[in-house]
Amino acid sequence: MGLVRLALSFLLGPPVFLLAALCAGAAAAAQQGRDSLRWDVLAHFAPLWLAGALACALVALIAFRGLAKLLVLGMAATGLVFSAMLIGPELTRPAGPSAAPDAPGQLKIVQFNVWHDSPDPERNLDWLMREDPDITVLEETTPRLREAIKASGRWRVTCPNCEVMILSKSEPVAEGLGKVHGPITRATFRDARGEFTVIGVHNAWPTDADQPGQEARLAQAIARFPRERTIVTGDFNSAPWSFQRRRWDARFGLIRRERALFTWPATPYKRLRWLGSVPFLPIDHVYAGDDWATVSITRGPKLASDHYPVVAILAPVAPR
């Protein structure tokens, strides 16, 4: 057995060490995201750096001996520490008040990027009908899906020809954001406690120069409404361990209710067939003001989209 481990250390040691070094280097470089949007892109992939470093450590413990084992374990430990520094704040932050499953006044919201390349948009719509939410925010809608929604006659539709649509059981009392343009839609509703506003959004990738401007636009839109009753949800294309995401979370003045909910990818791509195996990016988010308590936040099933839907159930905070 000793000879086998020695041989494995000689043959596999260098490539495993290089993988551990890659994960450690990426996680360490991502720390520069505090000051640089360019380096912050690496922070979005923190789970990959963590998983890679952990895998290297396990291989070293099981198969290596001697210097190879020590070198790989040292580099893997470095990757684990820097990755944990990125992911840890998401796992320990407050996620807002909670409510019991039987809390009164519950509001069921579905957020779903239905994917402009969906091969079967009707399947997405069928699931949505079965889920029967009070409010739905859809991104990447297509003319085919919009026509199907219109034909169903099931919902009141805010911005029926927009890429971001809001569907609701009740009629909005107001909608639109005036001169604010882009993939963002707003509708205001009234319940027993008064008015509340829902904003749906679809941001660009973090590699896109437009994303910071889109986040700033959203912050401005949020500021126009009473924050305590405002709900914001959509595809932000931004993972919660990025420094940019943390900064905008603070700027919005709302509470992000899901915690490390992995929603992408949900399907393989033509040239990257492996991508759809396991979702590794939590980029679909739900925010709500502190007058809302969270009953549950769950990931929906795999459908005909490259995103999983998010199902959020909120309830008014109980009076004290």
How many other C-beta atoms can be found within 10 angstroms of the C-beta atom of residue 208? Answer: 12
Q: pLDDT by residue (tens digit) across 65-94?
A: 788 888 999 999 999 999 999 999 999 999
Asked if residue 101 belongs to a domain, the reply is: no
- Following DSSP, what letter does each residue of the chain receive, concatenated? -HHHHHHHHHHHHHHHHHHHHHHHHHHHHHGGGGT-HHHHHHHTTHHHHHHHHHHHHHHHHHH--HHHHHHHHHHHHHHHHHHHHHHHHHHHS----B--TT-TT-EEEEEEE--TT-S-HHHHHHHHHHH--SEEEEES--HHHHHHHHHHT-SEEESTTSSSEEEESSPPSEE--TT--SSEEEEEEEETTEEEEEEEEEPPPTTSTTHHHHHHHHHHHHHTS-GGG-EEEEE----TTSHHHHHHHHHHTSEE---S---B--S--SS-GGGGSS--B--EEEEE-TTEEEEEEEE----SSSS--EEEEEEEPPP-
Q: How far is CA 307 from CA 58, 61, 173, 266, in A?
A: 31, 36, 30, 5
Asked if residues 100 and 295 have their Cβ atoms less than 8 Å apart, the reply is yes
Flag whether pLDDT at 11 surpasses 60: no
180 pLDDT higher than 70: no
pLDDT at 3: 55
Q: How confident is the model at residue 158 (pLDDT cuts 50, 70, 90)?
A: very high
**Residue showing tokens 């099933």:** 301
With a cut of 70, say whether residue 179 has pLDDT above it: no
Tokens of 249: 């979370």
- The string of pLDDT tens digits covering residues 43-53 is 999 999 999 99
pLDDT beyond 70 at 4: no
Residue bearing the bigger pLDDT, 257 or 72: 257
In a shared domain, residues 67 and 205: no
Both 16 and 148 in a single domain? no
* Full-model pTM: 0.93
The verdict on 164 and 310 lying in the same domain is: yes
Average pLDDT score over residue span 170-185: 86
Domain ranges, residue 12: 2-92
Same domain? For 242 and 311 the reply is yes
pLDDT category at 227 given cuts 50, 70, 90 is very high
For residue 242, tell me if it sits in a domain. Answer: yes
Q: Is the pLDDT of residue 275 over 80?
A: no
In terms of domains, do 177 and 265 share one?
yes
Residue ending a domain, among 57, 92, 127, is 92
Residue 174 and residue 274 in one domain:
yes
In a domain, 97, yes or no: no
Q: Is 207 a member of any domain?
A: yes
Select from 67, 92, 117 the last residue of a domain: 92
State CA 111 to chain mean position distance: 11
Residue 304 contacts residue 142 (beta carbons within 8 Å)? no
285 and 242, same structural domain?
Answer: yes
- Strand 135-139 with 184-191, pairing: unpaired
For the chain, what's the residue count?
320
Mean pLDDT of the 266-284 span = 79
User: Do 168 and 253 fall within a single domain?
Assistant: yes
- Burial zone of 100 (CB within 10 Å; 0-12 exposed, 13-18 middle, 19+ buried): exposed
Instruction: Kindly report, residue by residue over 233-252, the tens digit of the pLDDT.
Output: 999 999 999 999 999 999 99
- CATH code (residue 279): 3.60.10.10
Q: Is residue 98 part of a domain?
A: no
Name the pLDDT band for 9 (thresholds 50, 70, 90): low
pLDDT at 280: 94
Tell whether the model's pLDDT for residue 32 goes beyond 90: yes
Q: What is the average pLDDT score of the chain?
A: 92
pLDDT at 221: 94
Last residue of a domain, one of 47, 66, 92: 92
In this structure, the answer to whether residues 88 and 113 fall within a common structural domain is no
In a domain, 308, yes or no: yes
Q: Tokens 């409010």 label which residue?
A: 135
Residue 288, strand partner residues = 231, 255
Q: Does one domain contain both 205 and 76?
A: no
Reported as a single tens digit per residue, the pLDDT across 299-309 is 999 999 999 99
| Residue 183 shares a structural domain with residue 78 | no
pLDDT value of residue 79: 97
| Count of the separate structural domains present in the chain | 2
Could you tell me if 119 and 257 lie in one domain?
A: yes
Query: pLDDT exceeding 90 applies to what percent of the chain?
Result: 82
For residue 13, the model assigns a pLDDT of 64
Does some domain include residue 102? no
With respect to residue 306, please indicate whether it lies within any of the assigned structural domains.
yes
The pLDDT, as a whole number, for residue 39 is 96
